[in-house]
Amino acid sequence: MMKKEKYELEFLFKTSPKVLDNMITTPSGLSEWFADDVNIKDDIYTFIWDGSEEDARLITKKTNSKVKFRWMEDEEDGNDAFFELRYEVDPMTKMVLLTVTAFAESDEMEDAQLLWQAQIEELKRTLGA
């Protein structure tokens, strides 16, 4: 198995941290833009797309600041890869800066980044931001 490499993507939103927080930490919010459906049991989030499921463990959740997950597959493989959505309000513009931190194998890096960009565009459309 190839080692995964870390990358970060930044996006600006015209929304409040509270609204964004709801969209990235709750099953109902996540199912509006990230997956077809999302279920939670304890600290395990099950993301469902087109009938397939992927489980991720919630590692960190800090209201109006960030949420961080590790795919169970990575955890089982002993890989410390994760994905994190971190956000803060720019004091000058009052816009919310969302930073996505994730990991991908080098031969999948471009596809992984394009997928996140598409997902975040869907989030922006959903929020009207």
Task: Report whether pLDDT(2) > 80.
Answer: no
Q: Indicate the number of domains in the chain.
A: 1
pLDDT band at 51 (very low <50, low <70, confident <90, very high): confident
pLDDT band at 1 (very low <50, low <70, confident <90, very high): low
Domain that holds residue 120: 4-127
**CATH code, domain with 51:** 3.30.530.20
What is the tens place of the pLDDT at every residue in 109-120? 999 999 999 999
Enumerate helices (H) and strands (E) in the chain, giving the number of each: 4, 7
Say how many C-beta atoms besides its own lie within 10 A of residue 111's C-beta: 11
Euclidean distance between the first and the last CA atom of the chain, given in angstroms as a whole number: 39
pTM of the model: 0.91
pLDDT tens sequence across 4-32: 999 999 999 999 989 999 999 999 999 99
